Amino acid sequence: MLSKRNNFQPLSWQNAQSSAFVRHLEIFSVASKFLFDLWWDNLVQNYSAKQRHRRAKWLVRQLLNLGPTFIKIGQSLSTRADLLPIEYVQELAQLQDRVPEFSSDLAISVIETELGKSISDLFETFEFYPLASASLGQVHRAKLYTGEEVVVKVQRPGLETLFNLDFEVVHQVLRIANWFPQVRKFNLEAVYQEFFQLLFQEIDYILEGKNAERFRENFQDYPRIKAPIVYWEYTTKRVLTLEYLPGIKVDDRETLQAQGVNLDEVIKLGICSYLKQLLLDGFFQSDPHPGNMAVNLDGELIFYDFGTMAEVKPVAKEQMIRTFFAVLRKDTDQVVETLVYMGLIEPISDLSSVRRIVRFLLENFRDKPVDIRAFEQVSEEVYMMFKQQPFRLPAQMTFIIKSLTTLDGIARALDPQYNLLAASQPFIQSLTVSDGSRKNLIMALAKQTANLIKNTFTAGNRTERLILRLEDRIEQGDLRFRVRSLENERLLKRIYLGVRTLINATLTGFSVLAAIGLLSTPYNKLAIIPFGLSGLFGLFFLRSAIALLIQERLDRLAEK
């Protein structure tokens, strides 16, 4: 039995495949418009929250129009509240739920082509309207002739071709960006290769099925953590059939409370399950947004999506206990040592900047929920760290940051006052009773507890602690002195404005010459493009020149 078809209005990227030239135009037009809008806001000094919301909403619409590659980029950026204004984070977060479905006829065509049978031969019932829709595919509920309730995940048609086009366009943009030394030193080429490698892995549903089975095996002794069974006879690279496990969306506080679910237990399950994935298994779900997690009426936690799994080096339990107590003691060196061991921070020669970031996190977020606005305090430190000693965090570390910040957001939606250490307590307790090495683990636990008590009662008064902290910062090279020279600052600012004025003048002249050159060719209609650019660069030139004149007059007044 087939249910009613869905009404479908395709977006541009869901139609016939575009050429590379058309795709270039689409991407560059969106990027140019967005950069121009930001420049205009800066020119008119319009930094209001309302304006940022307007820009963010426009950007989300354009990312949806550009398709899966840019939707995935937006979803990744939606967790980076330390880098983006809160208005952009809020709007980009909606990309998790607002990705439109594609035609049910197309979905059925993909299923029949991949599995080699008609939809009525494969399933006793099949719902045309999708249960959920994501950037790379959509899910339909169905029932097998053997009686099992299942969900069928179908990949969007033409994804691989679209990815190849975007792969080429983004690569060209990066090659242009790498002309600038300020960009080249961050090794964006490696980041780009990693991102697209993960995208191509995510559209391999056979790999996702294997990930789901591995996840189930890791939690087979944990009955309150659920993962669906894979039906391999109904699974290919583009179709994935899984056990149907219904549940309430994990961040739906009102519904969970109405059903009598204990929210504190849900938070503990989420935190402890991720600590196990990260520290014991070394294999974790790197995209735990609310659409990928649910809670059933028994309060059990259900995981759905296994396309974006990541691996890290697991930590020995004794070292894990030392690290937990290092967090309690705010022992920055021990925490950094563990991060280096797990491969989450590259062991560069000078880790003083990294220690400052870790110390900031321990001081501000150890005993309370993460306040994303508090990252403004450390944003300058992060910028200086990459400017003075740029290095790229391994991909696993960015996945962990994304996972933990998303998980923290889910926990705060359920209980704004939740405590991370309290929520992780069941996991810490489980370490000492899980296997035959319990005696050694209990001894390590007792030793770390004794050290914590000793450090607490021998910390000294406030003055002594400040002196010891100053001594530590000097030894670690964390102490910095800032010396300002107003005269040099004014000179550097004039030089900067002068160079910017010269560049804009050059670009204006070059655009005018290019337009004049095109007028004498068969492509004379295209001359409007460089003419338009010359007008834009001319505005930039006027603004820079006026700013330079004003700065020179202010400097003369200051020198008198």
Residues annotated as catalytic are 287
Sheet of strand 301-303: strand arrangement: 225-226, 301-303, 293-295, 248-249
Other Cβ atoms closer than 10 A to 9 = 7
The pair of structure tokens assigned to 130 is: 């999708």
Alpha-carbon span 275 to 320, nearest angstrom: 10
HEC secondary structure over 237-262: CCEEEEECCCCEECCCHHHHHHCCCC
* Alpha-carbon torsion (133, 138, 144, 150), positive or negative: negative
For 439, other C-beta atoms within 10 Å of its C-beta total 9
Residue 3's Cα: distance from chain center in Å?
37
Stretch (H or E) spanning 547: helix 528-559
Would you tell me the crossing angle of helices 332-341 and 352-365 to the nearest 10 degrees? 120
DSSP state of 303: E
Q: Which long-range contacts (CB under 8 A, 24 or more apart) does 324-327 make?
A: 324/424, 324/428, 324/448, 325/448, 325/449, 325/451, 325/452, 327/362, 327/366, 327/421
Select from 168, 166, 302 the least CA-distant residue to 243: 302
Helical H segments across 44-103, by residue range: 49-66, 68-77, 86-93
**134 and 208 Cβ atoms separated by less than 8 Å:** no
Joined together, the tokens standing for residue 402 give: 């994304």
Residue written as token pair 């280096």: 340
Distance of alpha carbon 182 from alpha carbon 247, whole angstroms:
48
User: Hey, how many other C-beta atoms are within 10 angstroms of the C-beta on 379?
Assistant: 11
Q: DSSP E strands: which ranges in 191-348?
A: 225-226, 239-243, 248-249, 283-285, 293-295, 301-303, 309-311
CA nearest 114: which of 241, 2, 272? 241
Secondary structure string (H, E, C) spanning 480-513 = CCCCCCHHHHHHHHHHHHHHHHHHHHHHHHHHHH
The conformation of residue 299, written as its DSSP 8-state character, comes to S
Q: Is 138 left (phi over 0), alpha (psi -120 to 50) or beta?
A: beta
Distance CA 419, CA 416 (A): 9
| Distances 519 to 168, 509, 515, 531, 538 between C-alpha atoms, Å | 30, 16, 6, 11, 20
